[in-house]
């Protein structure tokens, strides 16, 4: 499904949510022109941030966090001062709009005051297991599936590629019959 992304001077474009969150954020970053060292997120019309910047794995789909045909604004996430306890806490969300409405700005300011806010859907990663850094995942996302599309599956065993071996049985009349084991 698609969503509407609004940024700048009320410029809009469509984005497909049938992809990993990290890939969507990477696409938004390039489309809107945000430098790689800045953290971005999306918020809805009422100023509720979606906390997509907290996602760390490629398994989390954007469609799990965003409603189809919804309108979302790109926001820059600002963190606490380096070297403090709030260094890893989102302190404020700034909409990347030329003239944001007062209601949107105020709602985002209020959300920044509540650092305990959680993701709308809990990631499926086991606790304690760290995935690759968010900075390296967009690169990994571009190369995923390349080998499979080109017919290169040599890194997987034959059983992983084709399933379990076939079991040979004798059919009535003396013919051999291969049935797939399940």
CA 155, distance to chain mean position in Å, is 26
Chain segment 141-165, per-residue pLDDT in tens: 443 344 444 444 444 554 555 555 5
12: closest CA among 3, 22, 23? 3
CA pair distance 20, 59, nearest whole angstrom: 6
Q: Which long-range contacts (CB under 8 A, 24 or more apart) does 139-143 make?
A: 140/58, 141/20, 141/22, 141/23, 141/26, 141/58
CB 80 within 8 A of CB 89: yes
115: closest CA among 76, 84, 83, 80? 80
pTM passes above 0.85 = no
Q: What is the pLDDT at residue 64?
A: 93
Q: What is the pLDDT at residue 1?
A: 85
109: closest CA among 90, 126, 86? 90
Q: How confident is the model at residue 20 (pLDDT cuts 50, 70, 90)?
A: very high
CATH of 2-122, one of 2.40.420, 1.25.40, 3.10.20, 3.30.70: 3.10.20
Q: What burial class does residue 125 get, using C-beta atoms within 10 Å of its C-beta: 0-12 exposed, 13-18 middle, 19+ buried?
A: middle
Alpha helices (runs of H) in 46-112, residue ranges in sequence order = 102-112
């Amino acid at each position: 499904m698609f969503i509407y992304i609004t940024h700048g001077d009320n410029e809009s474009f469509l984005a497909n949510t049938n992809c990993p969150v990290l890939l969507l954020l990477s696409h938004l970053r390039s489309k809107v022109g945000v430098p790689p060292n800045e953290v971005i997120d999306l918020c809805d019309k009422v100023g509720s941030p979606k906390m997509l910047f907290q996602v760390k794995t490629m398994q989390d789909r954007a469609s799990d966090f965003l409603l189809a045909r919804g309108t979302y604004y790109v926001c820059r996430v600002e963190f606490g001062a380096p070297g403090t306890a709030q260094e890893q806490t989102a302190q404020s969300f700034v909409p990347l709009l030329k003239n944001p409405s007062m209601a949107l700005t105020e709602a985002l300011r209020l959300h920044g005051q509540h650092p305990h806010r959680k993701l709308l859907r809990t990631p499926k990663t086991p606790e304690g297991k760290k995935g690759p850094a968010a900075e390296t995942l967009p690169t990994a996302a571009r190369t995923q599936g390349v080998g499979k599309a080109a017919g290169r599956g040599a890194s997987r065993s034959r059983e992983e590629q084709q399933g379990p071996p076939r079991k040979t049985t004798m059919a009535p009349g003396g013919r051999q019959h291969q049935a797939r084991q399940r």
